Amino acid sequence: MAKRVTGPEIEKLIQLLAKVPGLGPRSARRAALHLVKKKDQLLGPLADAMGEAHRKVRICSCCGNVDTVDPCTVCTDERRDRSVIIVVEDVSDLWALERAGAMNAAYHVLGGTLSPLDGVGPDDLNIRGLINRVSEGGVRELIIAVNATVEGQTTAHYITDQLQGLDVKITRLAHGVPVGGELDYLDEGTLTAALRARTTI
């Protein structure tokens, strides 16, 4: 049996860090050692920041975003065009779209996609909240920005079906050649979609 080289507190820290995406047991050990070495400059402030985040973080009751205030910062931003809602699968997609800065719209986070293999059905997603938001009125366009996967598009069509009869324009993201993409390496489906959605130069 291997001898223990650290106390249970540091072992627990390593075990928890190893559960963070991108970190395995070895890199968690390195990160833990780094934190322990920089106890005052890093470990203390990090622990405080995590504690504070843990106390304050909540899901936005309006859009499903993660923030420390409810409604979230995005929902309370007066400068946003609230007549346009971008529907995304996950908070990470919301952050990605905000990084792009292409739209100044409101968001709605579904919390996943319909996935029979993972047992995710309509009731497990934040679809009811979306329908309520649109039903309340004032929404001109709904942009369904889900992943270009069969599960993502099934979810998009399901949402479209559920919103039938409501006076809202429903659009989705275009599918096509990514920036820096080489045609030779693209799959036939993407190429077909790109050709169909071609634009005049």
Residues forming contacts to another protein in the complex (CB under 8 A) are 21-22, 114-118, 121-122, 148-151, 153-154, 157-158, 160-161, 175, 185, 187-193
CB of 91 to another protein, least distance (A): 17
CB of 22 to another protein, least distance (A): 7
**Per DSSP, which regions of 126-183 are E strands?**
141-144, 169-172
Shorter beta-carbon distance to another protein: residue 136 or 188 = 188
**Cβ contact 110:156 at 8 Å:** no
CB of 188 to another protein, least distance (A): 5
Shorter beta-carbon distance to another protein: residue 89 or 151 = 151
CB of 47 to another protein, least distance (A): 25
Shorter beta-carbon distance to another protein: residue 25 or 137 = 25
Shorter beta-carbon distance to another protein: residue 138 or 180 = 180
Q: What angle do CA 151, 133, 73 make, to 5 degrees?
A: 90
In eight-state DSSP terms, residue 179 is T
Strand, helix or coil at 74?
helix
Which residues in 38-73 are b (16+ Cβ under 10 Å) and which e? eeeeebeeeeeeeeeeeeeeebbebbbbbbeeeebe
Shorter beta-carbon distance to another protein: residue 59 or 120 = 120
CB of 189 to another protein, least distance (A): 1
Instruction: Calculate helix-pair angle for 150-162, 127-135, nearest 10 degrees.
Output: 40
